[in-house]
């Protein structure tokens, strides 16, 4: 196994020969097909197929760093929770919680702030990119529009991870630096005080399909080119129709129906691959070469996606219409999470010299 995983001297949970997986989802958007294929489906599958311990959480305190729209934060939290549960996340098996329901996390973040070098944060890509963008403008302060939240983002993320002594953190490529910073922050604390924190590892899946969006660019909320997964925050909107409409809008070239087409240059084919079996993919490849019409290809893609997600959509709609049920599940997750986090924070506070002066009673 990995000998660079340091086991902490804590009995927080059993000694960790097991993997402990943890990942956070920032609550600023409504899940789309790219999120499903790239993050939700693989994460749920990987815990189903293993006996690893798993912690998945809604990172709402990270959400407010980049979004000041209270309604959007709230709606996104609800939609993300409903989506993950609808897609099969078992809240008995996985500790599934909302970051803000675990007050020990921001408390730990403050403590880590106090031993983390400012210089480490100066090197964070997201912060540097924001400064560089300001430097390109004349007469603008390099830190214009940059909040302390953005600057300290990696420290809150370190607290998320170190709180539960996670060993493996599944993330996208853009987050690798943050995991390295969490290791650095853990190492500094462990050295200054005592070895309380496990050094986490980033888990990046190189085969993870990155979907192309409606316009041919990478599917991303910021490009406005996404295919919705279940629908909208508004339960009146028919998710299946919305999916159909979006699939029909995928940009193609102007080749005529009978012309042979290059499957590898087609967004429809690429997305189909993320849903279909090997045989189905080969069948569609043959039809491309034989000259399938774009309309038929789109219909085939829609049917294939819909077959997989229609049962999940039903559950999603149910959960979205019953926020009490969602809230109960999240509270159960928070209870589970806090059983760990209270102990870990208590140890941390004692390690830095913050503890009761005497036992009362």
C-beta closer to ligand TRP: residue 204 or 281: 204
Please tell me the distance from the alpha carbon of residue 317 to that of residue 339, in angstroms, as a whole number. Answer: 31
C-beta closer to ligand TRP: residue 26 or 95: 26
With contacts defined by CB under 6 A, name the span among 87-95, 153-161, 286-294, 350-358 that binds ligand TRP: 153-161
Interaction between residue 16 and ligand TRP (CB under 6 A): no
C-beta closer to ligand TRP: residue 87 or 182: 182
C-beta closer to ligand TRP: residue 59 or 116: 59
Of positions 169, 243, 268, 334, contacts ligand TRP by CB under 6 A: 169
Window 173 to 212, contacts with ligand TRP (CB under 6 A)? 175
Window 42 to 81, contacts with ligand TRP (CB under 6 A)? 59, 62
* Count of residues near ligand TRP by CB under 6 A: 12
| Whether 24 contacts 77, CB under 8 Å | no
C-beta closer to ligand TRP: residue 155 or 284: 155
Of positions 54, 155, 157, 162, contacts ligand TRP by CB under 6 A: 157
CB of 164 to ligand TRP, least distance (A): 10
C-beta closer to ligand TRP: residue 87 or 156: 156
With contacts defined by CB under 6 A, name the span among 5-13, 21-29, 41-49, 71-79 that binds ligand TRP: 21-29
CB of 25 to ligand TRP, least distance (A): 6
C-beta closer to ligand TRP: residue 24 or 213: 24
CB of 148 to ligand TRP, least distance (A): 17
Residue 96 token pair: 């599934």
Q: For the stretch 193-218, what's the b/e string if a residue is b when 16 or more beta carbons lie within 10 angstroms of its beta carbon?
A: bbbbbbbbbbbeeeeeeebbbbeeee
Match 């189905």 to its residue by tokens: 280
Interaction between residue 28 and ligand TRP (CB under 6 A): no
| Whether 301 contacts 308, CB under 8 Å | no
| Whether 134 contacts 173, CB under 8 Å | no
C-beta closer to ligand TRP: residue 69 or 296: 69
Neighbours of 145 (CB within 10 A): 10
Of positions 44, 112, 171, 276, contacts ligand TRP by CB under 6 A: 171
Closest CA to 201 of 12, 20, 13: 20
Residue 327 token pair: 């809230």
DSSP state of 45: H
- What distances in angstroms separate CA 320 from CA 16, 99, 178, 232, 236, one per listed residue? 37, 20, 32, 10, 11
C-beta closer to ligand TRP: residue 171 or 243: 171
Interaction between residue 95 and ligand TRP (CB under 6 A): no
DSSP state of 75: H
Neighbours of 144 (CB within 10 A): 11
168-170 and 201-203 beta bridge pairing: parallel
Extended beta strands in 36-75, E state: 53-59
Of positions 76, 111, 160, 168, contacts ligand TRP by CB under 6 A: 160
Of positions 161, 297, 320, 345, contacts ligand TRP by CB under 6 A: 161
Task: Provide φ and ψ at 116, rounded to 5°.
Answer: -90, 130
What residues make contact with ligand TRP under the rule CB under 6 A? Answer: 22-24, 26, 59, 62, 157, 160-161, 169, 171, 175
């Amino acid at each position: 196994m990995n000998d660079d995983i340091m086991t902490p001297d804590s009995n927080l949970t059993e000694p960790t020969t097991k993997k402990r997986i943890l990942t956070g989802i920032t609550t600023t958007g409504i899940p789309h097909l790219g999120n499903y294929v790239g993050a939700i489906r693989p994460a749920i599958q990987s815990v189903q197929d293993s006996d690893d311990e798993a912690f998945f959480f809604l990172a709402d305190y990270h959400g407010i760093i980049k979004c000041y729209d209270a309604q959007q934060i709230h709606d996104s939290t609800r939609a993300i929770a409903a989506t993950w549960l609808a897609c099969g996340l078992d809240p008995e098996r996985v500790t599934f919680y909302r970051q803000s329901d675990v007050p020990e996390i921001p408390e730990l973040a403050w403590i880590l702030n106090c031993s983390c070098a400012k210089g480490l944060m100066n090197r964070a890509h997201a912060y540097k990119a924001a400064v560089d963008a300001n430097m390109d403008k004349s007469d603008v302060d390099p830190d214009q529009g940059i909040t302390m939240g953005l600057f300290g983002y990696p420290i809150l993320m370190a607290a998320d991870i170190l709180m539960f002594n996670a060993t493996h953190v599944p993330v996208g490529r853009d987050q690798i630096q943050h995991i390295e910073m969490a290791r650095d922050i853990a190492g500094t604390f462990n050295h200054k005080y005592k070895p309380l924190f496990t050094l986490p590892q980033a888990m990046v899946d190189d085969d993870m399909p990155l979907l192309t969006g409606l316009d041919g660019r990478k599917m991303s909320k910021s490009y406005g080119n996404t295919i919705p997964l279940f629908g909208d925050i508004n339960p009146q909107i028919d998710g299946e129709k919305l999916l159909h409409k979006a699939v029909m809008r995928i940009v193609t070239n102007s080749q005529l129906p009978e012309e042979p087409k290059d499957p590898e240059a087609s967004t429809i084919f690429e997305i189909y691959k993320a849903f279909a079996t090997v045989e189905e993919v080969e069948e569609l490849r043959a039809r491309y070469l034989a000259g399938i019409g774009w309309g038929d290809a789109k219909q085939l893609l829609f049917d294939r996606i819909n077959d997989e997600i229609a049962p999940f959509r039903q559950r999603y709609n149910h959960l979205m219409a019953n926020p009490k049920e969602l809230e109960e599940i999240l509270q159960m997750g928070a209870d589970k999470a806090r059983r760990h986090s209270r102990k870990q924070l208590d140890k941390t506070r004692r390690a830095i010299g913050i503890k009761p002066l005497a036992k009362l009673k």
